[in-house]
Structure 1
Amino acid sequence: MPFFAYLITDGCYGAATPGAFAKRLETLFEAHSVDYALYRDKANPDYARFAAVFVDGCRAHGVKAILHQDTALALSLGADGVHLTSTQFDAIKGAKEAGLFTVISAHSPVELAHAAAEGADAATYSPIFESPGKGEPKGLDDLNETAGKIDLPVIALGGIVSPDQISAVRAAGAAGFASIRYFINSAKESFCSK
């Protein structure tokens, strides 16, 4: 698998209407080369309707659409995959059997090994760099050592906001990088007040 870019959304990508959300996605996809995109908005009570817009927007730009936590919704909307939380290891098998590209969040070598044993397609590993509210960063040495021992694509996540950091995680053995702020901060439009 070549090194890839994984865009992660959060609530600050949100918009009052699905149409406005579609325009924001368009801006992001025009500003960046993105291989995979995860729609994650834990606070949106209308997640399913916005997820449908997200999947359509990804498809229109040749981006693999990943939904957060919900295998059934990913299947019903024709998404390419699902990103499971670090409490959903028991859902990996079902997601894989359903034909979904399955990513899981991992925060330790033990969790990465568990993800590989359960058959996940990839795992995010975080936080690599300092990231608000995410605890002590693991750093590049840890990423290099850990990624080299796991038979699973490891996606570096956490505090990745610059091209230099992207190059560094690639050199450390990551299969790709995932970020929220990297994509938002360098897009043509600022979506967040933070």
Structure 2
Amino acid sequence: MKTYLITDPAYYGSEPFVLTSSLETVFTRTLPDFILLRDKQTSDYPNLAQTFVEVCRNHHVPNVLLHGDYILANALKADGVHLTSAQSDLIINAKALGLYVIISTHTYEEALKAQDLGADAITYSPIFASPNKGEPKGLEDLKEIVDKISIPIFALGGITTDEQINAVEKCGVFGFASIRYFI
């Protein structure tokens, strides 16, 4: 099962030096298959993203993604972009640049739309209770989505333990995504 680390400024900082130090610490313990720079509070996302891509490349992270900005992802030679559920209209543009596209989904309809528009993968969330993310979908709902959608699905939301990882793996997901699991 694939691992997908999503950063959060609360844990990784919003300054290049702090981000670098935080990533270096994580990479001594694990090397995720996918990694996303998710920072909605920085005033200089492009500079932070450049540092992020460089650090991840130095550690040979296989799939380096930026959040929401496919043009910047292309300019910095990231592998892909993770779009929000409201950005499905950008899937085609990002794919045209050769980027790997993951999009956030929260319903079957969003997942189906992402698949139909050519996304490479989706996150489906929240599976378990997660701060400020609404009612958890649960494992039964996750299994239903896995059975109905043909593109890779990352379970996301509240995944912080090995037991939860084992539970989502049994649902047949491609991988799991988490912020807090990797801290």
Is this a same-fold pair by TM over 0.5?
Answer: yes
Aligned residue in 1 for 2:55: 57
- Could you tell me how far 1:148 is from its partner in structure 2? 1.0
- Could you tell me how far 1:13 is from its partner in structure 2? 3.2
Contact 2:38/2:66, CA 8 A, preserved across alignment = yes
Contact 2:14/2:39, CA 8 A, preserved across alignment = no
1:86-123: CA deviations, max 9, x gaps?
00110000101100000000000110000000000000
The equivalences for 1:86-97 within 5 A come to 86-97=85-96
Matching residue's letter, 2:43 = P
- Could you tell me how far 1:21 is from its partner in structure 2? 1.7
TM-score (structure 1 length as normaliser)? 0.91
Once residues 71 and 41 of structure 2 are traced to their aligned partners in structure 1, the CA distance between those partners, rounded to angstroms, is 19
Aligned residue in 2 for 1:48: 46
- Could you tell me how far 1:16 is from its partner in structure 2? 6.3
Aligned residue in 1 for 2:157: 158
Worse overlay, 10-19 or 164-173: 10-19
Aligned residue in 2 for 1:9: 7
Once residues 24 and 10 of structure 1 are traced to their aligned partners in structure 2, the CA distance between those partners, rounded to angstroms, is 11
Once residues 138 and 20 of structure 1 are traced to their aligned partners in structure 2, the CA distance between those partners, rounded to angstroms, is 34
Once residues 67 and 95 of structure 2 are traced to their aligned partners in structure 1, the CA distance between those partners, rounded to angstroms, is 15
- Could you tell me how far 1:14 is from its partner in structure 2? 4.0
The equivalences for 1:113-128 within 5 A come to 113-128=112-127
Indicate the percent of aligned positions where both proteins have the same amino acid: 52
Once residues 132 and 22 of structure 2 are traced to their aligned partners in structure 1, the CA distance between those partners, rounded to angstroms, is 26
The equivalences for 1:44-193 within 5 A come to 44-63=42-61, 64-184=63-183
Q: How many residues align?
A: 182
- Could you tell me how far 1:20 is from its partner in structure 2? 2.8
- Could you tell me how far 1:48 is from its partner in structure 2? 0.8
- Could you tell me how far 1:171 is from its partner in structure 2? 0.7
Q: Secondary structure at the match of 1:169?
A: helix
Once residues 69 and 175 of structure 2 are traced to their aligned partners in structure 1, the CA distance between those partners, rounded to angstroms, is 23
After superposition, the CA RMSD in angstroms is: 1.1
Runs of 4+ more than 6 Å apart: none
TM-score (structure 2 length as normaliser)? 0.96
Contact 2:122/2:151, CA 8 A, preserved across alignment = yes
Structure 1, unpaired ranges of 5+: 185-194
Q: Secondary structure at the match of 1:88?
A: helix
1:46-91: CA deviations, max 9, x gaps?
1111111110111111212100000111011110100000001100
Matching residue's letter, 2:73 = A
